Amino acid sequence: MKEDNRLWILIGRKLSGEATEDELKELAELSQKDPDVPYYITILSVWWNRAEHSGKMKADKALSRLLRRMEKKESAFLSGNPNQGLSVIRNYLKAAFRHLWKNSKISLLNTIG
């Protein structure tokens, strides 16, 4: 059981690129003992590379969407579009006013009592 766990740990470290030379040697020794180990490594390598590629693609798409949204807001702000550009300022002023109003109430309560 302990050797099985060690096998999966070594495979995981190899796939992630964190395995040391000693661990790679140990994995090679386990591969010689059990003929199924190279098969496991091959299957998991294919899965790992697909998952890694898919994750990178999703991250790239999300970054592209974010950059497009930021460019839209920036261009709207710079072009003077009152519907989008000024909404940033309007939201900031609303938040600042709420903050001041909240603090003035707290100051009043502290003064009264």
Q: Helices marked H in the chain — which ranges?
A: 2-16, 21-33, 37-79, 85-112
Specify the higher pLDDT residue, 43 or 76. 43
| Same domain membership, residue 94 and residue 45 | no
Same domain flag for 44 and 95: no
User: Is the domain of 3 the same as that of 31?
Assistant: yes
Task: Clarify whether residues 44 and 97 are in a common domain.
Answer: no
Q: In this structure, are 24 and 66 located in the same domain?
A: yes
Q: Is there a single domain that holds both residue 50 and residue 85?
A: no
Same domain, 51 and 89: no
Task: Please name the residue ranges forming H helices in 17-36.
Answer: 21-33
Residues 12 and 51 in one domain: yes
Percent residues over pLDDT 70 in the chain: 67
Residues near 85 by beta carbon (within 8 Å), at least 6 away in sequence: 73, 76, 77, 78, 79
Q: What is the pLDDT of residues 62-111, one digit of tens each?
A: 777 877 777 776 665 555 555 555 566 667 777 776 776 666 656 655 66
Domain span at 90: 80-113
Sequence-distant contacts of 3-8: CB under 8 A, at least 24 apart: 3/30, 6/30, 7/34, 7/37, 7/40
Residues 92 and 66 in one domain: no
Q: Total domain count for the chain?
A: 2
